[in-house]
Structure 1
Amino acid sequence: MRRTRNPARSRAMARVASAVLSTALVLTGCSHTSHPSHTAHQDTGKAAEGSRPVPPDARHIALKGAVNVRDLGGYRTSDGKQLRYGVVFRGDALGKLTPADLAVTSKLGLKSVVDFRLPVEVRTDGADRLPKGASAIPLPIDDTGLYERTTAAIGSRDPAQQQKALGDGKGAQTMQRIYRTFVTEAGARHQFAKVLDTIADGKRLPLLFHCTSGKDRTGWMSYVLLRAVGVPARTAEADYLLSSDIRKTADEKTREGLKKSGVMKDPQLIVPLQEVRKDYLGAALTEADHRYGSFDAYLSKGLGLDAGTLHKLRTRLLK
């Protein structure tokens, strides 16, 4: 006998499929580590020797409705200066902040929250819940259709379709393609440059920028910002890689939920989409070198940052 389709169950499965994009995908809760003091940590730049400059919980702001919110303060530049705490923050989507979270974020004094998410992501995950005094700056960055393609594959509940879309290295290959578009696409370059210009101007600080999971568009933005003010490449890379550590528990719970609900037979297929990896970042950096000759040339020619803007960035952020 053919099983009758249950509309309520179908809607529930669709919500589960959408939920994985909220916590797992590139462009796209759980408990978090303790809130840092924002004053005690000193980064000596040891990442240049191959070690991570800070533990996973350093600078991490503990929230129940967002996993990956961090203060970019404290990092040291090559010439010994230090990024100020409390000026620029990075994060994931803020649509699920609790009243307690809003009390915490209100203490940050945010004036601006930049949202890199696409409209479809905002519709799925919800508009940001902003603390009083903060204004939204929507700067969507295209994901080349990854969100909708992956939602379709996961929502199909078909292991063969999911394997075809994500298996045999396709997930990692897709991520590398996405990262290259951060450099190749004029629209993406414009949005990243807009954030840097806004920070340099200083009128809308403190500022937080985020995407859905706070690791790819946000990760590249953070890397670019840190490099632009003189933070060593290995230190900036280490900040980028912290997202996998911070998101580990949340991502594991997402995979467990997909398995238990029957949405995915093999939820390990989404691991490449959940993680940040050196070769993802490397794909963007290689593209920057290929197109512009160097990272510094990418800043000046790709993002249009002149010497005056770079000087303003350093003045605003460093001490």
Structure 2
Amino acid sequence: MTAAAVVAPSAAAASGAPPIRQIPLQGAVNVRDIGGQRTCDGRVRYGLVYRGDALGKLTDADLTALSGLRLRQVVDYRVPLEVQSDGADRLPAGVTGVSRPVTDNGLYAQILAAIGSKDPVKQEEMLGNGKASAFMRAVYPQFVTSADNRARFGATLHDIAYGGRGALLYHCTSGKDRTGWTTYVLLRLLGVPEQAAVADYLASNTFRAAYDAKLRESLKQAGLMQNPDLLIPLQEVRTEYLSAALDQVRHDYGSLGRYATDGLGVDRRTAALLRARLVD
């Protein structure tokens, strides 16, 4: 198995959760094992489910590292514009790639439009005065309300439960929103306490911080953005974003369990298989 970096982001440490196993790669910064979390009756197994950001910029060395994970399948949540812009996934030989686009409510297009304008006034109008964070709060409820999104999240959970041998990795562009929601729901279904599941969600901020700061600085140096900090609410995960999805869950389904059952198609048998496969 490939070497994993053991990292304890502050949010995870504060919750008492075990350190997170990041997979160190040159072409992606937010690939990590979801294992290690304590559940009500055990612990989530390592080496079976991974979450990540886009894999289009992986190096040959990265592919060798991923080969050590014994992946059988990689699920890509990105919409076509994201794939077109950032490139298709590079995967080790023998790994099945599945395109399963989940809408980002136009987030990626919004970012490209703002940066591409090169106009500080327009960028402020588009992203300033709380508009960027409001946009993010509007993205998350669609993880719950959109039938297509629910079908694709549900299909990934079914693949984990019924997929047989080998590990599965799912990802989006930054590995924080669509990927973060999938992981939050999965961990909660496995019996991981709320605080620990939220800490895992927030850990993306730690893993992405240096990369995102470098991107903002490069945009400023290139003259594309006078105030690249306008992007910070779009680059980060925040509890208010997760809460927007959970509020929608309560409104539409009453509970996360009912959302999983009625919205994602995770029936009792599937939920039991997930726990049997993933929890020691």
TM-score with structure 2 setting the length: 0.94
- Aligned match of 2:256 in 295, 298, 314? 295
Aligned residue for 2:221? Answer: 260
Query: 1:112, 1:204 within 8 Å by CA — same for their partners in 2?
Result: no
Q: Which has the larger radius of gyration?
A: 1
1:272 equivalenced with 2:236 (yes/no) = no
Shift of 1:51: 2.5
Aligned residue for 1:210? Answer: 171
2: CA distance between counterparts of 1:108 and 1:166? Answer: 39
2: CA distance between counterparts of 1:233 and 1:123? Answer: 36
User: Which structure 1 residue ranges, 4+ long, deviate > 3 Å from structure 2?
Assistant: none
| TM alignment of 1:192-211, pairs within 5 A | 192-203=153-164, 205-211=166-172
Shift of 1:295: 1.2
1: CA distance between counterparts of 2:267 and 2:227? Answer: 48
Aligned residue for 1:62? Answer: 24
- Aligned match of 1:283 in 244, 252, 255? 244
1:237 equivalenced with 2:237 (yes/no) = no
Shift of 1:105: 0.6
2: CA distance between counterparts of 1:120 and 1:221? Answer: 21
1:8-49 CA-partner distances (Å, limit 9, x unpaired): xxxxxxxxxxxxxxxxxxxxxxxxxx83379xx9xxxx97x9
Shift of 1:193: 0.2
1:301–1:97 Cα change, 3 Å: same
What letter matches 1:66 in structure 2?
A: A
Q: What's the secondary structure of 1:209's corresponding residue? A: strand
Query: 1:150, 1:165 within 8 Å by CA — same for their partners in 2?
Result: no
1:265-301 CA-partner distances (Å, limit 9, x unpaired): 1001000000010111111011101111111111111
Which has the larger share of strand?
2
2: CA distance between counterparts of 1:282 and 1:257? Answer: 32
Residues matched between the structures, number: 276
Q: What's the secondary structure of 1:142's corresponding residue? A: coil
Aligned residue for 2:17? Answer: 53
Identity %: 53
Query: 2:58, 2:90 within 8 Å by CA — same for their partners in 1?
Result: yes
Q: What's the secondary structure of 2:108's corresponding residue? A: helix
1: CA distance between counterparts of 2:161 and 2:132? Answer: 36
Shift of 1:205: 3.4
- Which sections of structure 2, spanning at least 5 residues, go unmatched? none
1: CA distance between counterparts of 2:165 and 2:242? Answer: 28
Shift of 1:303: 1.2
Report the aligned-residue RMSD: 1.9
Q: What's the secondary structure of 1:89's corresponding residue? A: strand
2: CA distance between counterparts of 1:36 and 1:161? Answer: 41
What letter matches 2:4 in structure 1?
A: H
- Which sections of structure 1, spanning at least 5 residues, go unmatched? 1-33
What letter matches 1:78 in structure 2?
A: C
Aligned residue for 1:249? Answer: 210
TM-score with structure 1 setting the length: 0.83
Query: 1:199, 1:205 within 8 Å by CA — same for their partners in 2?
Result: no
Shift of 1:50: 5.9
Aligned residue for 1:31? Answer: none
Aligned residue for 1:166? Answer: 127
- Aligned match of 2:4 in 35, 38, 48? 35
Shift of 1:52: 5.2
